[in-house]
Amino acid sequence: MRKINVFDTTLRDGEQSAGVNLNLEEKLEIARQLERLGVDIMEAGFPASSKGDFQSVQQIAKTIKNSSVTGLARAVQSDIDTAWEALKDSAEPRIHVFIASSPIHMQYKLNMTPDQVVERAVQSIKLAASKFPQVQFSAEDASRAELPFLARLVEEAIQAGATVINLPDTVGFTTPHEIGNMFAYMKQNVPSIEKVILSTHNHDDLGMAVANSLAAIQNGAGQVECTVNGIGERAGNAALEEISVALNIRKDYYKADTGLTLKEIKRTSSLVSKLANMPVPGNKAVVGANAFAHESGIHQDGMLKNKETYEIITPELVGVSESSMVLGKHSGRHAFKDKLTELGFAGDNTQFQQIFDAFKDLCDKKKEVTEDDLYALMTETMTDAIQESYELQTVQVNYGTNNIPTAAITMKLPTGEITQEAATGSGSVEAIYNTLERIIDGPVSLRDYRIQSVNGGGDALAEVYVQVKYDGIESSGRGTAHDVLEASAKAYINAVNRTLIRKAYGQEQNNKVNI
């Protein structure tokens, strides 16, 4: 059984999803959960892209001990030097260097000849290898490169000191048959290929990222690059949960496995979904709400007789629990803390007390408190862990079928001053947002608004996700509350505060890249 290394890029490529912007505390929470999941390598970010990204990569590298932490770098000295400063204190310093390899990229993006690309790659890898014990080289857009040139580039990269060679399908263009041929060609035409681990990184523009990843594994890839829930640039990346479960269920066919702790998959998926403000579709493979639901009468009959008739993946395999009731109003601090630790909470005593107080308040309003509710309270606290600029004090809405909706809000300003304002709107939410826009310094444009319940029932918590453009920067925010309107106000303010934090850390100048 071949061991396939899992290279998770949720914190780098995944965060490049439109509207996603994670703060440091949220990135650390995801990194810790990825460590519990058992990923071999996690790409924490692109250190040279901004001050904020540098700090995030540096902190994750210092925190994570059981997974190798890496950072992305262009084939330029300044990027490599910056990556070293961010990663030098990690348990296993590793760098991910890339340069384009397809004719269209070399000509129009780099304005370089093939010889110049090889020369730049070799120089950069040698520099990286002088600092890092593990150097991964990516031939960007490899799926559209000319195979003889790609083989030459890979051989030169290995000779220069690369320990991992990644052949990405950067734009999601290739097919399983083609990517299989590409990996087979490298195995046959690169003399030093056995000295390195081959890696595959696939985008989902044509819906074939997972299939392409599995085809690459069949043809020699020993590392697969993916993201939780398949999030990422454009249509996203190959989904970690789908690849790992496919290899596990079809060991008979692939003869390979990841070694991940699969029971942590659902928990990891839920955490990333909430923190990235990207709900998982109900029909999503492995982790969707309907993944283990059976509606058809024929299916239900078969399930009652033998679950294996229609269920090839058991809920328990990926950590889906049939029991939703976890704690109640009589639960004590010790039991509550044990449950939060089980869910992956790693905050300080102040954050724990905030979650505990919110839990007790929720118990007075809600009969059954589930794991999903606790996740919502945890993510709300992590969101509030960032330095607040605007703070909601009170919100009151007057609404009636024959009245104009009116909102009155009391807010604490960044200066510490308390202010009050009121405004009307065509609906209650619009009235709230019109009021907030009067209070907040500068115009705010609402780009997206979504609401969902944490789970079923009339007493369910409401989660609101918004995307706004404030001060020229697009940012997302979330709010959780028992009341939909309060959650809406919190989400809007959270998005504005995130923008201010990004500006403070220079993150508005992020130079994101697609591999």
* Token pair of 61 as six digits: 């590298």
Residue 447 burial (10 A CB sphere; 0-12, 13-18, 19+)? middle
Write the CA distances from 63 to 66, 74, 296, 297, integer angstroms. Answer: 10, 25, 47, 50
What is the C-alpha R_g of the chain? 24
The C-alpha atoms of residue 206 and residue 311 are separated, in whole angstroms, by 27
Residue 111 annotated in ligand binding: no
Closest residue by Cα to residue 228 from 276, 261, 263: 276
> Is 201 annotated as belonging to a binding site?
yes
Residue 509: both structure tokens together: 């100048």
Question: How far is C-alpha 213 from the chain's CA centre?
Answer: 19
The SS3 assignment for 172 reads: coil
Residue from 508, 494, 274 nearest 388 by CA: 494
Number of Cβ within 10 Å of residue 252's Cβ equals: 6
Contact 209, 238 (CB under 8 A): yes
On whether 177 is known to bind a ligand per the annotation, the reply is no
Closest CA to 474 of 340, 213, 242, 277: 277
Do the Cβ atoms of 201 and 168 come closer than 8 Å? yes
Sign of CA dihedral 104, 110, 115, 117: negative
Annotated ligand binding at 13? The verdict is yes
Give me the amino acid identity at 482: H
Q: Among 37, 14, 11, which residue's Cα sits nearest to residue 25?
A: 11
Q: Is 140 strand, coil or helix?
A: strand
CB under 8 A, 24+ apart: contacts of 52-56:
52/24, 52/502, 52/505, 52/506, 52/507, 52/510, 53/507, 53/510, 54/82, 54/85, 54/86, 55/24, 55/505, 56/11, 56/24, 56/27
**C-alpha–C-alpha distance, residues 353 and 480, integer Å:** 17
Token couple for 330: 């009589």
Classify residue 427 by burial, with Cβ atoms within 10 Å: 0-12, 13-18, 19+: exposed
> What are the residues facing 138 on neighbouring strands?
98, 166
Point out the annotated binding site for Mn(2+): 13, 201, 203, 237
Residues of each annotated binding site: 13, 201, 203, 237
